[in-house]
Amino acid sequence: MTDSTLPSKAPVASRDDESEGMSYLESLPRRVVTLYLPLFVILVVLLFPFYWMALTSIKPDEQLIDMNKFNPFWVVHPTFKHISKLLFETQYPRWLWNTMYVAVGATTLSIIASVLAAYAIVRLRFKGADTVGVLIFFAYLVPPSILFIPLASVIQAYGLFDSPLALILVYPTLLIPFSTWLLMGYFKTIPYELEECALIDGASRWQILTRIIVPLAIPGMISAFIFSFTLCWNEFIYALTFLQSTPNKTVPVAIVNEFVDGDIYKWGSLMAGALVGSLPLVILYAFFVEHYVSAMTGAVKE
Amino acid sequence: MTTFQTSVRVQPAGVDTPSLWARLRTNRNWVALWFMLPAAAFLILFLAYPLGLGVWMSFTDERIGRRGIFIGLENYQWLWDDSIFWLSVFNTLLYTIVASAIKFAIGLYLALLLNRHMPFKAMIRSIVLIPFIVPTVLSAIAFWWIYDSQFSIISWSLIKLGLIDHNINFLGDSSWARGSVIFANIWRGVPFVAITLLAGLQTVSPSLYEAATLDGATNWQRFRFITYPLLTPIIAVVMTFSVLFTFTDFQLIWALTRGGPVNATHLMATLSYQRGIISGRLGEGAAIATAMIPFLVAAIAISWFGMQRRKWQQGSNND
């Protein structure tokens, strides 16, 4: 099931972005109509909500509600009022911190558990390793939407209700299956010979893992980390169910619950909140595009 | 313990027969048990156990703050006669089928576009994925503003273009609301489908297309007889995930409409949240969630079939 990772990556690398293929056979007008125009339309649709989000967050209120005097697609006197209101008059920094804390905590726990599990499944070849691999794949397919009600009562029973710690403990169930599956693919590409040499030199399994496998699998672990971090940041239903008090909320939950009042002037701060909440992920993504894409496609291809 | 002592007594030197501890330390199954322990603990405590508990709760009348007693199929009988539940099932199927089909069509089209040679290829590919990495709720909030009944930019543009004469009530009218949430879902899902299918397309050797062109194949024939068959396995997997996540979607609906207007956009997940958590009838909420499981099993079975087929195509039998 996972055996295609290696061979399938080779042709990609060899013909990467430089290959022209048969595209020289096409004339320019034809390319404009069949390629650039549709691509441009799709990109505009995909990016418009972000443009709109950013524009609204720096637009003064009177321009937001008067669409006849001011062209809504542009802003005349941009203001940072909404963003400063968000950062200094609400608990937004606190929510950002909660989100970050939960995401880093849950991701770290998951990566540690996944590295150990993936190593055991791929290299220790214990009895029933294949079955465990399949079970973990199934765990990946269990959605939060059918688990949040029983989990709420489990969390209540453990006395973790309304605590970010509950999320740190629950999110790994979303992340471990994915990361384990991804890391299994990476571990399979590491030659057995390295491990055999280490075993002959008297290394224990633990030493092999920490000194040989982990350093070689760093790119895979970065991919798993970035993707898991994004998933944590994005998670909504558990955070909505388990967290009650305002200061404990994460950004997505707080935005939906705390800003929504009847005020027609709410839009500026709402959009500023959405923008500021998205930026950390977009920046992280900009630095690790390759890792992110390989995590996403890797998990699907396996 | 006894084995340990025995072995020590028989072989005092302890060189030829390693102690129990030494043997355990090198026993794969024993070592693997410890390696698997953290992951297994998380998955059993917070995934497998709640999954079973959820099914059990669906047979009880549990409420928030009160333990339930077993009431058999009463929750399900109640739901069977509940028109809102059936409306949510209908909505979920409509949402999943329409959104997935369009996501697949546009995603595949976008993947084919992105696979062609063009300037700034890498950059365009990274930009395409942005809707997928931004948290769903935050982009849904942006859509909420775009769909606003008074200040919608879409209504404004259409009025200025002279196509309509009054604002469209995007989230207030049943049909518009359904269309609007489906559009937002497609918007978010297309990048995922496109980028994963693109990864599949990149593994197709260009020489196949060159050979087919020499043989006089048209564009459509090249797609139908080269691209599509080679892409089928990855399409199966991607679409299973897409269907699975669309079917169990919660956050987009919750941020945009909370199931309204008049339950027109209630999905099974949102109805389950409303009945289970907000109204406090945990048993009934769990029953709605459990009713989603058969659909999920069907989706997983399809995924499994797709992957088996891929293994067969590659002719490999390891793992």
pLDDT beyond 70 at B298? yes
Summarize the confidence of residues B155-182 as an average pLDDT: 88
| Mean pLDDT, chain B, whole residue set | 85
Q: For residues A145 and B248, what is the distance between their CA atoms, to the nearest angstrom? A: 6
pLDDT of the residue at B105: 94
Record the tokens describing residue A161, joined without a space. Answer: 């209700």
Give the closest-approach CA distance of A35 to chain B in angstroms.
6
Q: Smallest Cα–Cα separation from A54: which of A286, A254, A272, A251?
A: A272
Judge whether A148 is closer than 8 Å to chain B, CB to CB: yes
pLDDT of the residue at A7: 37
Task: Check if the beta carbon of residue A3 is closer than 8 Å to that of residue B316.
Answer: yes
pLDDT beyond 70 at B315? no
pLDDT beyond 80 at B5? no
pLDDT of the residue at B8: 44
| Mean pLDDT, chain A, whole residue set | 84
pLDDT of the residue at B253: 93
Tell me, what DSSP letter sits at residue B317?
-
pLDDT band, residue B181 (cuts 50/70/90) = very high
pLDDT beyond 80 at A162? yes
Q: For residues A43 and A36, what is the distance between their CA atoms, to the nearest angstrom? A: 10
Full-model pTM: 0.86
**Per-residue model confidence as pLDDT tens digits over B106-125:** 999 999 999 888 888 888 98
pLDDT of the residue at A257: 83
Summarize the confidence of residues B3-30 as an average pLDDT: 61
pLDDT beyond 60 at B59? yes
Report the range of poorest mean pLDDT among A28-37, A117-126, B250-259. Answer: A28-37
Number of continuous H segments (helices) and E segments (strands) in chain A:
18, 0
- As a whole-number percent, the residues of chain B with pLDDT over 70 amount to 89
pLDDT higher at A31 or A7: A31
Q: For residues B202 and A144, what is the distance between their CA atoms, to the nearest angstrom? A: 33
Residues of A in contact with B205 (CB under 8 A): 11
Candidates A148, A236, A292; nearest CB to B136 = A236
Residue with tokens 């059936």: B86
Report the range of poorest mean pLDDT among A71-75, A82-86, B240-244. Answer: A71-75
pLDDT of the residue at B7: 44
Q: For residues A294 and A219, what is the distance between their CA atoms, to the nearest angstrom? A: 10
Phi/psi for B66 (5° steps) reads -145, 130
pLDDT of the residue at A9: 38
Q: For residues B11 and B24, what is the distance between their CA atoms, to the nearest angstrom? A: 18
pLDDT of the residue at A129: 86
**Per-residue model confidence as pLDDT tens digits over A25-65:** 777 888 888 888 999 999 999 999 999 999 988 888 777 77
Residue with tokens 């043989």: B215
pLDDT of the residue at B4: 47
pLDDT of the residue at B309: 61
Peptide bond into A172 cis (omega under 30): no
- Select the residue from A32, A99, A136, A146 to test the B interface by mutation, using most B Cβ atoms within 10 A: A146
pLDDT of the residue at B9: 47
Which residues 240-259 of chain B have a CB within 8 Å of chain A?
241, 244-245, 248-251, 254-255
Residue with tokens 């994460």: A250
pLDDT beyond 70 at A17? no
**Per-residue model confidence as pLDDT tens digits over A206-240:** 888 888 889 998 988 999 999 899 999 999 999 99
Count Cβ neighbours within 10 Å for each residue of B174-189 and write b for 16 or more, e otherwise: eebbbebbbbbbbbbb
How many other CB atoms are there within 10 angstroms of residue A25's CB atom? 9
Task: Check if the beta carbon of residue A70 is closer than 8 Å to that of residue A55.
Answer: no
Judge whether B11 is closer than 8 Å to chain A, CB to CB: no
Which residues 51-90 of chain A have a CB within 8 Å of chain B?
52-53, 56, 64-65, 67, 72-73
Q: For residues A299 and A297, what is the distance between their CA atoms, to the nearest angstrom? A: 5
pLDDT of the residue at B67: 81
pLDDT beyond 90 at A84? no
pLDDT of the residue at B228: 87
A31 burial (CB, 10 Å; 0-12 / 13-18 / 19+) is middle
pLDDT of the residue at A300: 61
Phi/psi for B148 (5° steps) reads -55, 145
> In the Cβ-directed half-sphere of A25, how many Cα atoms lie within 13 Å?
8
Q: For residues B139 and A282, what is the distance between their CA atoms, to the nearest angstrom? A: 13
Q: Smallest Cα–Cα separation from B174: which of B257, B261, B84?
A: B261
Report the range of poorest mean pLDDT among A14-18, A123-127, A152-156, B24-28. Answer: A14-18
pLDDT band, residue B13 (cuts 50/70/90) = very low
Q: What is the ipTM of this complex?
A: 0.86
pLDDT beyond 50 at B199? yes
pLDDT of the residue at B295: 84
Q: At a CB cut-off of 8 Å and minimum separation 6, what does B41 contact?
A: none
**Per-residue model confidence as pLDDT tens digits over B83-99:** 999 999 999 999 999 99
Residues of B in contact with A19 (CB under 8 A): 117, 206
- As a whole-number percent, the residues of chain B with pLDDT over 90 amount to 42
Candidates A152, A282, A289; nearest CB to B134 = A282
> In the Cβ-directed half-sphere of B98, how many Cα atoms lie within 13 Å?
15
Q: Chains A, B: CB contacts under 8 A, how many?
A: 315
